[in-house]
Amino acid sequence: MALRNIRTLDDEVLRKKCRPVDEVNDKVRELLKDMADTMYNTGNGAGLAAPQVGILKRIVVIDMGDGLINLVNPEIVEQKGSQEVIEGCLSILGKWGKVIRPTEVKVKALNEKGEEVIITGKKDMAKCLCHEIDHLDGILFTDKVTEYIED
């Protein structure tokens, strides 16, 4: 298990746009594994994006309790509805806020084998997909907060 350091709000890497991955190879698969190990090690994360571990590549891992999802070059290709959700972030511990997100999204990406996959996320999964994909464009949930929640 290789744990990576999670970058925090003051790290400028979180504000940079990530580059697409040209090829899903062993190096990418190793990063996916390290990111999953790091996310699980936090004890409370549902997703982690590569810039959160200092890598400017379009890579995301998510586990909402139904098993690990590895996404390389994810992009939202369809979205529906609107929901107010409460979000936090492993890079911004202790802050929570209300954010408006779609109720459903369809995401196209590559999996750890380099195969194209389509993921449809509803409600909490839609929120998580949007949150992690935002990270790939240097956007943090705090940029979209309509109201902060006190602990």
CA distance 114 to 1: 22
- Residues 63 and 122: their CA atoms lie apart, in Å, by 14
C-alpha–C-alpha distance, residues 111 and 121, integer Å: 16
Catalytic residue among 104, 132, 147, 150: 132
Give 133: exposed, middle or buried? Use CB within 10 Å, 0-12, 13-18, 19+.
Answer: buried
132 is annotated as an active-site residue: yes
- Is 128 flagged in the annotation as binding? no
131 in a labelled binding site? yes
The verdict on whether residue 18 carries a ligand-binding annotation is: no
For residue 96, what are its two tokens?
């929570």
Q: Which positions are annotated as active-site residues? A: 132
Task: Report the binding-site residues for Fe cation.
Answer: 89, 131, 135
Task: Report the binding-site residues.
Answer: 89, 131, 135
